[in-house]
Amino acid sequence: MEVWSGETLTFNLSPVPSMAHRLLKISSLATAVFGCSGFYLYNKQLDLNDLSVVRFGRAAATTAFISYDYLTAFKHVEYGTEEYWTLKSKVHRRSAERLRDLCCANRGTFIKLGQHLGALDYLLPEEYTSTLKVLHSRAPQSSMEEIRQVIREDLGKELSELFVSFEENPQGAASLAQVHKAVLHDGRTVAVKVQHPKVQRQSSKDIMTMEVLMRAVHWLFPDFAFMWLVEESKKNMPLELDFLNEGRNAERVANMLAHFPFLKIPMIHWDLSTKRILTMEFAEGGQVNDRDYMKKHGINVNEISENLGKLYSEMIFVHGFVHCDPHPGNVLIHKSEQSKKTEIVLLDHGLYQVLQPDFRLNYCRLWQALINSDMPEVERYSRKLGAGDLYPLFSCMLTARSWTSVTTGISSVPVTHAEDIEIQTNVSMYLPQISELLNRVPRQMLLLLKTNDLLRSIETTLQTRASSSSFINVSRCCIRAVARHKQSKARSKRRHLQIKLEESLSLWRLSMYELILWVKSSMLVHWLTALLTFVQ
């Protein structure tokens, strides 16, 4: 019995040194692997930010912190009280700052998404948009060696073989690329847009990360329904990363809008362009939101705002081919010293929206109804565009006006600061409905909403939002677009002529209305009114 017990004891104890030996081997092997990996990474000077696990971990941690903050911050505060709204503003601000820091750390696609969010002034709380707007000036910058390497790989030559001079400091750095000024051997000055070398490789993984985390947030907060952001990024990012596509878009819109003498699209140098490099004519000017630059160069801000409205109304309503990234860095203003004419220089043609004919026509009809305060037609065409019972909210989002102004007449009721404050205050209150609406409408509508917001942001900065000229430009383009549609369906010359006469009459009436508005606002009328008052 004792012998059996001893044998048992020996049997039970004998594996211990064996297990210890195995653990020692495993730990030694792990140490060796980590040591070699560390030595390899050190020698390769690999940035930890390039590792997907690091980028995902950082994004997941930020998402967790923000979600926890929203879940716990309001537990002991009564909804609707002044304390609740003050606290909610603070939580919004904290969360926006965390999101901004994440975008700056992960760069690339994250900065692009953050810039998109920062432009949604009428869809997101002010704390988010004001905090994320700084991302336009926080874009990453590639080293000169990285730029040389991309040019060497794509064009097969050294910088000195391609350019007489190449400025090392970029003219501007964006989330996906940076632009350098250079001089060709024939003496022409060009702008060379070079993609950040890591963006192409990281973008698909980053979008997958965003999708996973947004689904998690949606699971925690059912009212959060911003999955459309990820869907749009998945569709648009490959297009924005293909600079040959950008060059083709630039040429197409230059030909399409050649009748606008104030528009300048830089010419593309195809022999020096690839998917990651775009070489174009160098264009100078100040940003469209720089009022000081315009004042210094004697540029009329009302003229710029009106011409910008003409440009985008033509793209949206008449052609259905829309430049969807008109943030201030992509729209320059330049006054020629020789001709004294002011030009709008449109840059960054990577992202365009092609509107389907039926969608574009319904959108035209809706805007005509909004301008004419035709509420039954507003409801009808809003429903056709997918808004359903949320058509009042949809109308307010499109026009950035209150429902009272929409029903009264957006072309007759001037924009006031109080109305803007009212809209911003109501955004957080209607966020679930806004999210639901954005998931209902066609995907084409999302980029149009973004474009509308960016243009309104420019108008607000230039202090031209109260101008009625923008509605007149929209009306003129809608009339032309609807007439074109009718003519495409007409089967007889008589019907064609009738449509043309109706179009001409409508445009003439609009011109007369515009003339009346101009006369009313002219100095001559003010002088005559003052004179009559004095005489009386």
Cite the active site residues.
Answer: 325
Which amino acid, 333? I
Q: Which two tokens stand for residue 122?
A: 């009428």
CA angle 54, 104, 233 (to 5 degrees): 80
Q: Are strands 321-323 and 277-281 parallel, antiparallel or unpaired?
A: unpaired
CA angle 110, 196, 269 (to 5 degrees): 125
Q: In the structure, how many helices (H) and strands (E) does the chain have? A: 23, 11
Under DSSP, is residue 172 helix (H, G, I), strand (E, B) or coil? strand
Q: Which two tokens stand for residue 483?
A: 């007439």
Q: How far apart are CA 233 and CA 450, in angstroms?
A: 13
Contact 359, 296 (CB under 8 A): no
If residue 163 lies in a helix (H) or strand (E), which one and from where to where?
Answer: strand 163-166
Q: How far apart are CA 323 and CA 332, in angstroms?
A: 14
Q: How far apart are CA 319 and CA 331, in angstroms?
A: 20
Q: Are strands 342-346 and 331-335 parallel, antiparallel or unpaired?
A: antiparallel
Q: How far apart are CA 56 and CA 277, in angstroms?
A: 28
Could you tell me which residues come within 8 angstroms of residue 507 by beta carbon, excluding any fewer than 6 positions away? 476, 479, 480
Q: How far apart are CA 455 and CA 447, in angstroms?
A: 12
Q: How far apart are CA 218 and CA 125, in angstroms?
A: 18
Could you tell me which residues come within 8 angstroms of residue 169 by beta carbon, excluding any fewer than 6 positions away? none
DSSP conformation class of 266: P
Instruction: Say what the alpha-carbon torsion angle 37, 38, 40, 46 is, to the nearest 10 degrees.
Output: 110
Q: How far is CA 389 from CA 1, 121, 392, 437, 438, in A?
A: 87, 23, 8, 10, 13
